[in-house]
A and B are shown apart, each in its own frame.
Chain A
Amino acid sequence: MLSTLRSHRRIQLVAGLFIGICFGFLLQRGGVTRYEVVIGQLLLQDFTVVKIMLTAIVIGMIGVHALRSAGYATLSKKPGSVGSTVIGGLIFGVGFGLLGYCPGTMIGALGQGSLDALFGIAGMLIGTAAYAAAFPALSKSILRVGDFGQITIPELFRANPWPVVAGVGVCISVILLAVEYAGV
């Protein structure tokens, strides 16, 4: 039943659209499509972005691992290396601070009328094209540095995922409590 649903192209396009609508709605309603909220987070004055992300991670982590244990989901693990993840992540971070939106929230920002997001979207399209042009050279050099492949944290420690889920869940809860006590 699920495999028919997942291999039906038209249903999947509609599913993608539906999930996107919900995602955009939640991002806008949570306030993270606002430049002020994102910059407030990066200036460590307003922790809305971190609260949303960490809550989503806890709930999604428990749900997806339960689905996986029950055989309803397979993990989709992004590969990584020091050269790709760290360098790419830092470049992304500078763009994040300069633009004040991320790739998803700037689309939502355009939906709420923030016209500067149009320039962010145009810039990002050019950026992905520039990366595609540079990819052959990068993939032979820097992207290979410190390659650690497709690995999860439980696999890294050769542990069952559930204790890690519990540990991460507790750590995130403690962080959220600390953020609330600090009143940010």
Chain B
Amino acid sequence: MVHRVMEWIRTNQGRVLLLVVILAALVSIDSRTADSAVTASQSTANPTGRWSPYVAGLGIGLLSCLSFVISNRPIGVSTAYAQTSGLIGRVVVGSQIDEMPYYRTVRPEIGWEWMLAVGVLLGGCISAVLSGDIRFEPAPPLWVREFGSGVAWRWLAAGMGGFLLGVGSRWAGGCTSGHGISGALQLVASSWLAVVCFFIGGVSTAFMLY
């Protein structure tokens, strides 16, 4: 039985039908959310120009496909941080950085991943400017409401959080984009395990903080 289903799905006809079924399910979800999305965005601080999460997700899914076509690479951001720390290290301590075993596997260089990270900065800025959602905030409003306006604490927490993201993303071999989206969509086993652990750690920490 399972074998027969697999045989059928192996045909192009099966694949196309499968795609149509899943897309139809998604579209039905999206039409249902049109009204609930409005209430959700109203409850946040600044809903300016925000898209339905399904539209943003659809865009990221298609962008992942495009990335495979043009560059045959998955989208992932955390490698660029390791490359940047290596580049900074090379300036500070010299070329012995390149002898370190880790930087022999992840070469400190300005390549595809690094340009991707620069692009994320530009893209975030372009989107915020176009929708009027650009605000210079030393600390997020939610943090200020909960912990007061002493921004130094927020900066300390952000720095510590960033440190753990740096260690954890390299330890696990990827981050929310590399494992969480790109690895998961390729059905890579380690990526699904990693993303579950990301959320277990994140949810526990958020519940302890708030």
On A, residues with C-beta under 8 Å from B are: 2, 5-6, 12-37, 39, 42-44, 46-48, 51-64, 66-67, 69, 72-81, 84-100, 102-117, 119-133, 135-136, 138-139, 143, 148, 150-156, 159-166, 168-170, 173, 176-177, 180, 183
B131, B138, B161, B204: residue with the most chain A Cβ atoms closer than 10 Å: B161
How many contacts between A and B, using CB within 8 angstroms? Answer: 591
- Judge whether A19 and B85 touch: CB under 8 Å: no
Contacting B193 at CB < 8 Å: which of A86, A154, A166?
A: A86
B143-180 vs A: 1/0 string, CB under 8 Å? 10000000100111111111111111111111111111
Contacting B124 at CB < 8 Å: which of A25, A36, A85?
A: A25
- Judge whether B170 and A106 touch: CB under 8 Å: no
Interface of A is mostly: helix
B32, B73, B101, B158: residue with the most chain A Cβ atoms closer than 10 Å: B158
Query: Quick one: given A93-B168, A136-B101, are A123 and B163 in contact (CB under 8 Å)?
Result: yes
Contacting A72 at CB < 8 Å: which of B69, B117, B200?
A: B69
Query: Quick one: given A15-B71, A103-B177, A113-B128, are A95 and B168 in contact (CB under 8 Å)?
Result: yes
On chain A, the residues within 8 Å of B162 by CB distance are 95, 99, 106, 119-127
On chain B, the residues within 8 Å of A105 by CB distance are 176
Contacting B166 at CB < 8 Å: which of A97, A131, A161?
A: A131
CB-nearest residue of chain A relative to B49?
A29
Contacting A96 at CB < 8 Å: which of B86, B184, B202?
A: B202
Bound Cα distance A87, B190 (Å): 12
Interface size in chain B (residues, C-beta < 8 A): 148
Interface of B is mostly: helix
B179-210 vs A: 1/0 string, CB under 8 Å? 11111111111111111111111111111111
Q: What are 12 residue pairs bridging A and B, where the CB atoms are less than 8 Å apart in the complex?
A: A12-B112, A20-B122, A34-B44, A48-B53, A56-B64, A90-B201, A93-B199, A99-B158, A108-B124, A119-B159, A128-B78, A162-B14
- Judge whether A28 and B209 touch: CB under 8 Å: no
CB-nearest residue of chain A relative to B78?
A103
Query: Quick one: given A44-B203, A99-B158, A119-B158, are A89 and B187 in contact (CB under 8 Å)?
Result: no
Bound Cα distance A20, B63 (Å): 10
Q: Distance (Å) between the CB of B120 and the closest chain A CB? A: 4
7 extra interface residue pairs, beta carbon distance < 8 Å, beyond A92-B197, A122-B159, A131-B170: A12-B112, A24-B122, A55-B53, A77-B188, A88-B172, A96-B161, A166-B18
Contacting B142 at CB < 8 Å: which of A12, A36, A81, A155?
A: A36
B38 at the interface (CB under 8 A from A): no
On chain A, the residues within 8 Å of B54 by CB distance are 51-52, 55
Q: Distance (Å) between the CB of B150 and the closest chain A CB? A: 13
On chain B, the residues within 8 Å of A173 by CB distance are 22, 25-26, 29
Bound Cα distance A76, B76 (Å): 11
On chain B, the residues within 8 Å of A127 by CB distance are 81, 162-170
B36 at the interface (CB under 8 A from A): yes
- Judge whether B22 and A138 touch: CB under 8 Å: no
Q: Distance (Å) between the CB of B204 and the closest chain A CB? A: 7
CB-nearest residue of chain A relative to B138?
A115
B29, B32, B57: residue with the most chain A Cβ atoms closer than 10 Å: B57
Bound Cα distance A30, B128 (Å): 11
Query: Quick one: given A48-B53, A100-B161, A152-B188, are A78 and B173 in contact (CB under 8 Å)?
Result: yes
CB-nearest residue of chain B relative to A117?
B158
On chain B, the residues within 8 Å of A143 by CB distance are 171
Bound Cα distance A47, B53 (Å): 9
B42-73 vs A: 1/0 string, CB under 8 Å? 00110001110111111111111111111111
